[in-house]
Amino acid sequence: MNEMILPIGLFALSMCITPGPNNMMLTASGANFGFRRTIPHILGIEIGLLAMIALSGIGLGILFRSFPLFHQVLKYASILYLLYLSVRIALSQKADSDDQKGSRPLNIFQAAAFQIVNPKVLVMATTSISTFSISGSGYTLSVVMIIAVFGLVCIPAISVWAGFGTMIGKRLNSRTSFRIFNMVMGTLTASSVLFMV
């Protein structure tokens, strides 16, 4: 089982650090709110991802195969929620703007809940369980190992995107530049819907 740690780690890194809805939203959040205020969003992603891997280990894939309609409903719910978040990103302004006093980044619970409908996380969870788990008596331990490796890899990988957004935010020094940046980030986030459909 120890020889599986490196392949799981490489898979986790490639899945967590590549562009997707979470990383686009973290970049926008870092730019608009700064890294420190984005930390709950980062932690929520981690919690939601690990919960989805655990649920996949318990049998989410079986549920999807048994009730394909449930999978379709979840898919379209994720599309609607992702489009809502995309619009929210596209229309947001810099956090210290007078027009945006009520604006705030996603909190830990919102970010964790989004993972339930995030198609990339569903793929990551089901693929990691189906690829790296060991059948028989070692199954539970292998699922725990997959969760542990993802737990170690996820936060550093996704934090890169929040840090990147924070650096961009420091260089955007006009209201217009922030609007353009947020429109681009909202569009990129919405574009991931194309891969779901």
* pLDDT of the residue at 98: 47
Alpha-carbon separation of residue 145 from 84, 126, 139, 156 (angstroms): 35, 15, 10, 18
* pLDDT of the residue at 110: 93
High-pLDDT (> 90) share of the chain, %? 37
pLDDT digits (tens, 9 = 90+) for 102-161: 578 899 999 999 998 888 898 888 888 888 888 778 888 989 999 999 999 999 999 999
Prediction pTM value: 0.80
* pLDDT of the residue at 101: 53
List all residues 6 or more positions away from 8 whose beta carbon is below 8 Å from its beta carbon. Answer: 128, 132, 145, 146, 149, 150
* pLDDT of the residue at 60: 66
Name the more confident of 44 and 89.
44
pLDDT digits (tens, 9 = 90+) for 29-67: 999 999 999 999 999 999 999 999 999 888 866 776 677
Whether residue 195 is predicted with pLDDT greater than 60 in this model: the reply is no
